[in-house]
Amino acid sequence: MGLALTPFQVHDDRPNLALWVRLDRVHFQSVGTGRSGLVRAAGRSPTGQQASVTDEKTHRRGTNRMADYSHMEFEVKTRLLLPRSRIHVQSLYIFNMYRAGSSLMEAIVESIAAVTPFTAYNIVRALDDAGVSLIDPVDYSRNTLFLDDAFHALDRIADLGGYIYYGFREVPHGYATRFDHVAAAVLLVRDPRDVLISQYSAVAKHVVSGAAGADIMKLREKTENMQREEFITSDESIAFARRIVNCYRPMIEKGMAVLRYEDFFEGSEFQRHRLVETVVDCLADYFPEPPDVEKIAANLEIRIENSKALRGHGTAGTHGMHRSLSRDCQEALVQHLRPELELLNYPLS
């Protein structure tokens, strides 16, 4: 598996990327109808140009634990356009763990870009629009599609200046190992025990639509047949929790700023303004001029007020939910996730 991007220039000097994707373990029922199914799985470029299949190999993997999967490898070439950057300075990086105020953090990034010269670029959304999904919705415990990142795709993007890159919920381990912009990066995390509880609840509410709709339904059926504690202590859930923490371990150990979601609560109220202040303070050395925090916070509140999705999602939450679990379940989670909890400085009780 791998993903390769090659920077090049077009006539208006806007940077573009030629995108090659090799996908692995594609859902057989989704792509088993021939070449058209494979192309549909790859998607279209942001310009609407049909992606082209350049290589295709298919064989049944008899040892695969999921009977409705086959092993498929094929390469797709498409083009990924970046918005024009307004300044040529060190880019900034905002990373999120799953279920850790990610929608709110995206709005904060967009508010920062609205009042500073930086250009906000949701690289994950751009890749998704090009047909490259970072997760497998039917099997959330498996690795991301470019975990191996054999061609250092994300490194190439990181070399482009003037952007605030965001949208990540996890990153390829190889990318994290090579990432050397930790002083210009912030990671928002959440207690992985609460992430698993939130994940269990979220599956039941997730909109079932689009290409991933059938896969989301399968995951929903699985959770409906499991009690909450059974779900969050399952092998798949534990593997998921370990992965979403450990993918960031190399960055954290290099000194990247880590913000804990829980630290921004006062009682039951989430302090959005304080999160804005903290993010700006962490990145203060990389702004050409000190940004106006009040303007950023005001812009954020306008975005929340004007967005039905933001008003109802991601602007508040709860913390410490794992303490409501049975004693046996709490102890099992600590036993399974001790290294991850210690890395993020979460108490074991």
Domain 85-343 class in CATH: alpha beta
| Helix-helix angle 192-205:213-224, to 10 degrees | 110
pLDDT mean across residues, the chain:
73
- Among residues of the chain, what percentage have pLDDT more than 70? 62
DSSP strand pairing (71-81 vs 15-23): antiparallel
Pair 42, 53: CB distance under 8 Å: yes
Mind listing the pLDDT tens digit for each residue in 203-235?
Answer: 665 554 444 455 556 666 767 778 889 989 998
Domain with CATH 3.40.50 in the chain: 85-343
- Among residues of the chain, what percentage have pLDDT more than 90? 39
- Would you say residue 337 has pLDDT above 50? yes
Instruction: Give CA separation, 187 vs 56, 69, 210, 277, in Å.
Output: 37, 34, 30, 15
Mind listing the pLDDT tens digit for each residue in 162-219?
Answer: 999 999 888 877 788 888 899 999 999 999 999 999 888 776 655 544 444 555 566 6
Mind listing the pLDDT tens digit for each residue in 55-94?
Answer: 333 333 333 333 344 445 555 555 667 788 888 899 999 9
Report, as an integer, the average pLDDT of 94-103. Answer: 89
The pLDDT of residue 255: 96
- Would you say residue 302 has pLDDT above 50? yes
Q: Which fold has domain 1-81?
A: Alpha-Beta Plaits (3.30.70)
Give the global pTM. Answer: 0.75
Domain with CATH 3.30.70 in the chain: 1-81
Judged on CB neighbours under 10 Å (0-12, 13-18, 19+), 306 is exposed
Cα 269 to Cα 103: distance, rounded to the nearest angstrom: 17
Confidence of residue 240 (pLDDT cuts 50, 70, 90): confident
